[in-house]
Structure 1
């Protein structure tokens, strides 16, 4: 069955870049997936009073912001359609307008109807971060963060960050369609980052995957005081992996997201495409 990927686009106040559109299309092409791109435009309520109308012309400021958001969305969707046509990717596009506070909720709600979500990650873009965190923790679907550099290639070698936990097991299950397409699977277990209930957890998972005819290999490593996210990503890159699969640790608190250490390290310094599952 063909995968269907969801690609939400931030348009305001900080919009995604065209690189995000290019990477999403390239990734969809690499896994043979269809793509649905959704521009999430700003709907800004007019809460001005008489004085603000006189001094600032607040309604006109709101109108300009909404027009800028709409234009950004149209531009990004056009870029997605153009690149999808060139790459032979089946694509559909749509746009919605929502209040800024509901941007993440809207993206997560739409994401539930697709197999996975693609996020064009930009570390210095708070709008994209808010959108990404909402989709990761609110959609119930796996979310793949794509770096803001045009480096997407075929996903033939997949790394799995494995510690035997529930969220790691959920990530492996969510990544199954991608694992079945891989020619190599590296299961990375960091031995000295926290106590592990099973020292052979990586080999146990590798054996189960090999039993299903998947080319899996256990890769035990030591962090040696290096941050866990850096250890995982550097090990994956050193082995030539094109995607890292891992559980997304964290929880929401009044619309703010409190991320676990490994997850925070990944989003703060993304070095390769990462599938996060919560």
Structure 2
């Protein structure tokens, strides 16, 4: 059965960089997936009154913002289509719209119909982070966070952040298409961040992967004074890792999530492609 991936492209107040198109195809080609690209344009409710219309011309500003959003969405879908024609990849596209506060929820609900969600990330794009967070915690699907401007290449060396938890185990299961195609897998356990279930949990996972015919090793690191998200990404990059797999930790608080330290660190400062699963 062929995998189906969905790429979500929120366009307000700032759209993804065009590099997201080639980065998305770098991921889908790795696992032989089809791609469905969704541009999420803004639909701003008109709450103006006579005074605001007279002083600020609010309705006109809303129309301009929505037009800019639609223009950005069309440009991104065209960039994705261009990449698809170059790589001969099966592609479908869609335009939808949502109020600013619900763009992430719209992506999460749509993502439930696919095997894998993709979303771009940029340090100055709060909507991209909001969408990524909504996908991780609301779609029920693994989500690959992609740097918005850095080129993504082959994902041959996969690094697993492992603490023996339920969400980490789910992330490993969700990453199976990438693990089966990896040239190397490194299981990394951070030993000074929280109590662990045992001293050999990384070795046990690596041995299980080797039993399945995969090339895997286990390593332990210490975060020290660094945030755990930074420590994991720095180590992954230092050993040549190209995809980091980890569980997304968060506790529901009405509609918001109180994020775990590693998850917060990743969503605040993404440095490489990361598959996150909750």
Q: TM-score, normalised by structure 1?
A: 0.95
**C-alpha separation between the residues in 2 aligned to 1:149 and 1:128?**
13
Cα offset, 1:220, TM superposition: 1.7
Match of 1:249 in 2: 249
1:239 correspondence with 2:239: yes
1:62 correspondence with 2:75: no
Match of 1:274 in 2: 274
Query: SS at 2:20's partner residue?
Result: helix
CA contact (8 A) 1:30 1:153 kept: no
Match of 2:125 in 1: 125
Query: SS at 1:21's partner residue?
Result: helix
Cα offset, 1:268, TM superposition: 1.7
Query: SS at 1:195's partner residue?
Result: coil
**C-alpha separation between the residues in 2 aligned to 1:227 and 1:15?**
29
Match of 2:4 in 1: 4
**Alignment coverage as a number of residue pairs:** 278
**C-alpha separation between the residues in 2 aligned to 1:101 and 1:252?**
18
**C-alpha separation between the residues in 2 aligned to 1:48 and 1:109?**
30
* Moved >4 Å (runs of 4+): none
Give 5+ residue unaligned stretches, structure 2: none
CA contact (8 A) 1:209 1:215 kept: yes
1:14 correspondence with 2:47: no
**C-alpha separation between the residues in 1 aligned to 2:224 and 2:172?**
26
**C-alpha separation between the residues in 1 aligned to 2:101 and 2:269?**
26
CA contact (8 A) 2:116 2:142 kept: yes
Match of 1:183 in 2: 183
CA contact (8 A) 2:77 2:93 kept: yes
Query: SS at 1:25's partner residue?
Result: helix
Match of 2:260 in 1: 260
**C-alpha separation between the residues in 2 aligned to 1:92 and 1:50?**
43
Give 5+ residue unaligned stretches, structure 1: none
Query: SS at 2:96's partner residue?
Result: strand
Query: SS at 2:220's partner residue?
Result: strand
Cα offset, 1:254, TM superposition: 4.4
Which aligned pairs between 1:220-239 and structure 2 lie closer than 5 A?
A: 220-239=220-239
Cα offset, 1:22, TM superposition: 2.4
Cα offset, 1:48, TM superposition: 1.2
Match of 1:93 in 2: 93
Question: What RMSD over aligned residues (CA atoms) do the two structures have, in Å?
Answer: 1.4
CA contact (8 A) 1:26 1:87 kept: no
Query: SS at 2:37's partner residue?
Result: strand
